[in-house]
Structure 1
């Protein structure tokens, strides 16, 4: 075949090859894309880890949560849950899931029940924010994009927290916090001048329009705290509320 004929054949085949490529599916619109980021650093023991996971599962079984979802303009949200610790440790336990009614909420809760329980070492809130920011827009397109970060310590691994926070806010992401207070803080933390975790989360972690902090007064109050927090986060028209809410025993 002459070079001219080869070029013509190639040129004719190219459009067919391009047309044969599957089009990338458009992201499905939802009211909220919610990323749940759960602390599993060494300060979280086995019992506390179980309390956290049970708390998340119970929250999605609460009828008020499904009612809140139904009240949105689209009547659906998308949620994913991952655990985090060191700057390079973030593991997705429940992938993006569309929630549009009680049955879908129950499936998400069951997935949380069946997820692995794991703990690691350090506390990289900056790493968690960076990872969470990359999760948006994969399958869904939310009218709002929210990261829900739970934890009981300050950033001690990875890049500066202020940088990660600023980058997320520039993308229009809302950062909410769920700070768990240790009723018996370690003396070393007090001597090192580390601020109380609720003050730290309020001043250094949360940010964006309508951002707020939920404080759990000990892990035994975690279930109630996370339930209140998620219901507030998915509200169709979030009303101005307190910057800091508390769940006590």
Structure 2
């Protein structure tokens, strides 16, 4: 029995880093799944591109823009307008397959104070990796799994994908977006047009899906601050609007 136990532990330690990361992601999802789901107006995953094409300064601009957005009075009012249900919002970093990381787990927001606190927590996030590939398909699949495996029941379920390039991972992005659509999840896109002409059209044709899905292009990383605010105001609108 002791030998079997040692062999088992050795096998676990021999997992590749990518597989270990994927198992960690799945383990995080497994915990709340059995819990009673809490109704919310909006479930939203904010998926930030952490691929190699984005340098340290550009990634920080994404974080700063996102943090500022949740401190914005209009965004805070949009969250107030979702009462009594509120929103549940998570932040992930994504890159190549197996590299998605939950950097801010689902958090309930009901008030302007909640929004301000969430913005503060975003400001504490640090980049955990610089991925080797831009796998939007992975970002979509992992964000969908995060929505389907959490303890919330959103009347509107949304994945918000930000990125500065097309999928180059070789995975089937069309299949990924169709899986999200079939699960009743809307995908919206924020293409950052710093280096890729026509990226807005790519996001429109290959990323977004679902009723009222949309893109909110940013001209460059500095314009991301404006774009993410405008995007959140649309995504956090009251259900009847």
Q: Bin the TM-score by the shorter chain.
A: 0.7 to 0.9
**Are the structure 2 counterparts of residues 235 and 57 from structure 1 closer, same or farther at C-alpha, using a change threshold of 3 Å?**
same
Q: Unaligned stretches of 5+ in structure 2? A: 1-33
User: 4+ runs of 1 displaced by more than 2 Å?
Assistant: 72-75
1:165-208: CA deviation from partner (whole Å, max 9, x where unpaired): 111100000000000001x55xxxxxxxxx72111001110010
Asked if the contact 1:90/1:128 (under 8 Å) is kept, the reply is yes
**Are the structure 2 counterparts of residues 158 and 78 from structure 1 closer, same or farther at C-alpha, using a change threshold of 3 Å?**
farther
SS at match of 1:219: coil
Alpha-carbon distance in 2 for matches of 1:125, 1:69: 28
Alpha-carbon distance in 1 for matches of 2:85, 2:233: 14
Q: Match for 2:152 among 132, 140, 151?
A: 140
Q: Unaligned stretches of 5+ in structure 1? A: 1-23, 186-194, 240-249
Alpha-carbon distance in 2 for matches of 1:77, 1:141: 10
Q: Residue 212 of structure 1 aligns with which residue?
A: 214
Q: Match for 2:180 among 144, 164, 168?
A: 168
Q: Residue 107 of structure 2 aligns with which residue?
A: 97
Alpha-carbon distance in 2 for matches of 1:47, 1:73: 36
The within-5 A match list for 1:1-249 is: 24-72=34-82, 74-117=84-127, 118-137=129-148, 138-182=150-194, 184-185=195-196, 196-237=198-239, 239=241
How big is the shift at 1:238? 6.6
What's the TM-score, normalizing by structure 1? 0.79
Question: Computing the radius of gyration over CA atoms, which structure comes out larger, 1 or 2?
Answer: 1
SS at match of 1:214: coil
Alpha-carbon distance in 2 for matches of 1:62, 1:46: 24
Asked if the contact 1:87/1:158 (under 8 Å) is kept, the reply is no
How big is the shift at 1:74? 2.8
Asked if the contact 1:210/1:238 (under 8 Å) is kept, the reply is no
Alpha-carbon distance in 2 for matches of 1:154, 1:102: 35
How big is the shift at 1:157? 1.0
Alpha-carbon distance in 2 for matches of 1:159, 1:119: 19
Asked if the contact 1:126/1:158 (under 8 Å) is kept, the reply is no
